[in-house]
Structure 1
Amino acid sequence: MNTPITLIIFKRPQTTEKVFQLIRQAQPKQLFVIADGPRHDRADEAEKCQATREIIERVDWDCEVIKNYSDVNLGCAVRVSSGLDWVFSHVEQTIILEDDCIPHPSFFRFCEELLEKYQNDTRIASISAQNIQPQHKQTNYSYYFSRYSHCWGWATWRRAWQHYDLYMKLWKQVQAENLLNDILIDPKAVSYWQRKLQTIYDNPTGITWDYQWTFACWMQGSLSITPKVNLVSNVGVGADSTHFASNQEFSFINVPTQAMEFPLQHPPYIVRNVEADIFTQKTVYQAKIIDVFKEKVKKRWDYSKLKK
C-alpha cells in the first residue's frame, strides 16, 4: 500500500494483535503508531502497555515505522487528537485504526481509492468503514454520503483535519445563532446534539475526541463517505475497554464484516443520503433509544411465542 496507516494503541495486546495481522497483510510502506501511557494508579497497566507496544516490533515487511509513544497517560481525548496532529505534520492523508477495530481486508483498498479520488474535494471530510444499517438498502452504488463521520476505522486528509478543535471554540457562536437547527432540522436530533456537545464543551479533555470531529465537519458543511456494506467489527468489549465495559443491549459491537466489491461503483453526484442519516440518528444517537430497542425486542419475542 502507498497510503500510510495510523494505528492507535494503548493496553490491549489481544485485540491489537488482530488489527496488526490485518495491517501486515496490507503491507503499508509507512505505519504511524500512536500510544498512550499507563495510568499510575493501575497496577498492571504498565505491563499491558509494554506488551501491546512489543507487537509493533514484529513488522517484517518493507515499512517505515514511525512511533509517537507517551510515557504518561494523556487520556483518550488528548492522546488521539494530539497523535493525529502529529501524523498530519508528516503526511497529507492516512487510514486510521484503533486497537479494537477489526477491518475487512477490502477496507484498505476502499480507503486508498477514495482518498485519491476525493483528495482535493473539500466537500468530503472522511471515509468510514462502519455501516450500521446493512440490512437496509441505502444506495445502488458502493457508498453513500452522510453527515455522520463514524470513526471505527476511517481515513481522512490533512486538509480536513486542520479544522479539528478539541475545545470546540465555535460552540458558543453555534448556540447563539441556533446553527444546530439549520444543520439537523429535526427537533429531537437538535435536542440530543445540544446536550451532547455541551457536555463535551464543558469537559473537552475528559470524555472522548470524536464528537469534536463530527462538530468540526459540520462547521465546514462537509460530508463523510459510508460504505454500502459494513467493513469493520469493533471487538472492544470488556474490562480493558475505555467505552464498552460490557455487552450492552444496544450497541454495534462485533457486527460482522462483508467484502467490498471492486471495481467501485461511484455515485454520479455528491448529495447526502437523508433517509440513511435519519435511520442513523434514531438508531445510534437518539435519546432513550435503548428503551425503544428493548420494547422492539419484547414485541418480537412475544410474537414469536404466539406463532408457536
Structure 2
Amino acid sequence: MSTTSFYQTRSAVLFVIFNRPDTTFRVFERIKQTRPAKLYIAADGPRSDNPSDQERCMEARSVIEKIDWPCETKTLLRDENLGCKYGVSTAIDWFFDNEQEGIILEDDCLPSNDFFRFCDLMLERYRNDTRIRHITGCNLQYGKKWGSASYYFSNNVHVWGWAAWKRVWQQYDVELASYNENEIEEQFSKVFPEPLLVESWSEIFEKMKRNEIDTWDYQLGIANFFNNGLCVIPNFNLISNIGFGPNGTHTFSETDRNANIVSEDLPDVIVHPKYILPEKQADMSTWNADFHIERRRKSKAKKDGMIKYQLNKLLKHLK
C-alpha cells in the first residue's frame, strides 16, 4: 500500500479503551487514517483503589474530541470499573447490538492500514460461511508462512485486532454456563492431540468457572473450539501489540517475543486458500509456545523415568 494514501474502511469499528492515553492515541491515529463511517468507543471506568485512574481515564477519553472526519460516533463511557472480563465483553455486546459485523480494536493493538483492508475483504467473503467464525490481523508465526495463499485457517483465536459477525458473538458465553464441567476434559480431548493441552485447557476452564481469571477472551476461544470453528489468520502480521509493560493488564514483560512485533505489508492482490482446513502444525507451534509443551513433556518423561527407576529398585530389593 502507498505510504501517501490510506485505505478507507467500509466496516464499523469498535475501539475499547481504559486508562492508557499513550497507547490509546497511537491506535486512534491509525483508526483516523482509515476514516470509518461508524466508530464506537467504549471506555471502562476508573478503579476505586487506583488514585491515578481518574485522570488517566479522562485523558484517554479525550480522544473522542479528535474525531475530525465525517463519522457517526457512539460512545459507552462507564462511571465504574467493570474489569477486563465484563468491561470488554459488554462493550462488544453493545457493538453487536447495533451492527451485524465489524472490527474490534483494544487500546494496545496498533493496526497497520492493511489490517482494515484485510478485515473488510474477509468480512465480506465469509459473511455467510458459518465455518468461519473469526478474522484476526495478528500473526504469531514469526515469519513462517503457511501455504501459498495470503492467509490460512486456524482453530486458534487471536484477539489482538480482530473482526467478526453478530452471528458468532450471539453464541458467546461470558460465564461458560452452557458447558458441563464434568464433560470438559473429554471434549477438549477431541480438540487437542496432545494430553498436556487437554490438561492445560481443562485447568483454564476450571479457573474461569471459579472466577480466578479476569478476562473475556478465553471464552471466545473455547466457543470456537467447541463449535469446530475456523479463524482467518493473515500470512503477514498486521498488528503490533504496544501494551507490554508494567501498565499492561495481562502483558507485563517488555522482552516477551510477542511484544511490538513489526507489521508487514499485505500484498495488493489477495490469494485465497484452496482448502478450508486448519493448519494444525501452525496451531501446534502456537500452543507449544503458549503452554511450553515440549519442556513439560521432557519434564514429565524425566519424572516418569525416575518413578520407574525407583519402582524397579524396590522390586529388586523385595526379591
Whether these two folds match at TM > 0.5 is: yes
- How far did 1:82 drift? 0.7
Q: Give the alignment of 1:93-112 within 5 angstroms.
A: 93-112=101-120
Partner of 2:199: 191
- How far did 1:155 drift? 0.3
Partner of 1:182: 190
Answering whether residue 284 of structure 2 is matched by residue 274 of structure 1, we say: no
Partner of 1:299: none
**Aligned in 2, Cα 1:176/1:48: closer, same or farther, shift over 3 Å?**
closer
Q: Which runs of 5+ in 2 are unaligned?
A: 1-8, 299-319
169-178 or 4-13, larger mean C-alpha shift: 169-178
Question: Does the aligned pair in 1 maintain the 2:16–2:107 contact within 8 Å?
Answer: yes
> SS state of the match for residue 62, structure 2?
helix
- Which one of 231, 235, 238 corresponds to residue 231 of structure 1? 238
Answering whether residue 156 of structure 2 is matched by residue 152 of structure 1, we say: no
- How far did 1:46 drift? 0.5
- How far did 1:185 drift? 2.1
Partner of 1:207: 214
> SS state of the match for residue 116, structure 2?
helix
Partner of 2:82: 74
Question: Does the aligned pair in 2 maintain the 1:16–1:100 contact within 8 Å?
Answer: yes
Partner of 2:309: none
Question: Does the aligned pair in 1 maintain the 2:150–2:234 contact within 8 Å?
Answer: yes
Question: Does the aligned pair in 2 maintain the 1:223–1:272 contact within 8 Å?
Answer: yes
- Which one of 145, 150, 157 corresponds to residue 137 of structure 1? 145
* Partners of 2:184 and 2:16 in 1: CA distance: 36
When normalised by structure 1's length, the TM-score is 0.90
When normalised by structure 2's length, the TM-score is 0.87
Q: Deviations for 1:196-241, whole angstroms, at most 9, x for unmatched residues?
A: 121112117x511000000111221111011101111111123322
Paired letter, 2:247: D
90-99 or 191-200, larger mean C-alpha shift: 191-200
> SS state of the match for residue 201, structure 2?
helix
85-94 or 238-247, larger mean C-alpha shift: 238-247
Answering whether residue 264 of structure 2 is matched by residue 244 of structure 1, we say: no
Q: Deviations for 1:56-110, whole angstroms, at most 9, x for unmatched residues?
A: 2110001011011110000010011111111100000011110011111100000
Q: Which runs of 5+ in 1 are unaligned?
A: 293-308
> SS state of the match for residue 88, structure 1?
helix
- How far did 1:170 drift? 3.1
Question: Does the aligned pair in 2 maintain the 1:93–1:115 contact within 8 Å?
Answer: yes
- Which one of 30, 34, 39 corresponds to residue 31 of structure 1? 39
- How far did 1:280 drift? 1.0
**Aligned in 2, Cα 1:211/1:110: closer, same or farther, shift over 3 Å?**
same
Question: Does the aligned pair in 2 maintain the 1:138–1:276 contact within 8 Å?
Answer: yes
* Partners of 1:88 and 1:178 in 2: CA distance: 32
**Aligned in 2, Cα 1:273/1:176: closer, same or farther, shift over 3 Å?**
closer
- How far did 1:137 drift? 2.6
Q: Give the alignment of 1:5-20 within 5 angstroms.
A: 5-20=13-28
- Which one of 9, 12, 17 corresponds to residue 4 of structure 1? 12
- Which one of 247, 259, 269 corresponds to residue 253 of structure 1? 259
> SS state of the match for residue 66, structure 2?
coil
Question: Does the aligned pair in 2 maintain the 1:229–1:259 contact within 8 Å?
Answer: yes
The alignment-based identity, stated in percent, is: 37
Runs (4 or more) in structure 1 with deviation over 6 Å come to none
RMSD over aligned Cα, in angstroms? 1.9
> SS state of the match for residue 14, structure 2?
strand
* Partners of 2:282 and 2:188 in 1: CA distance: 19
Paired letter, 2:25: E
Paired letter, 1:243: H
- How far did 1:287 drift? 5.4
- How far did 1:141 drift? 0.4
Q: Deviations for 1:140-196, whole angstroms, at most 9, x for unmatched residues?
A: 101100000100000000001111001112332562671111111221211111111
Partner of 1:21: 29
Question: Does the aligned pair in 2 maintain the 1:174–1:180 contact within 8 Å?
Answer: no
Structure showing greater Rg: 2
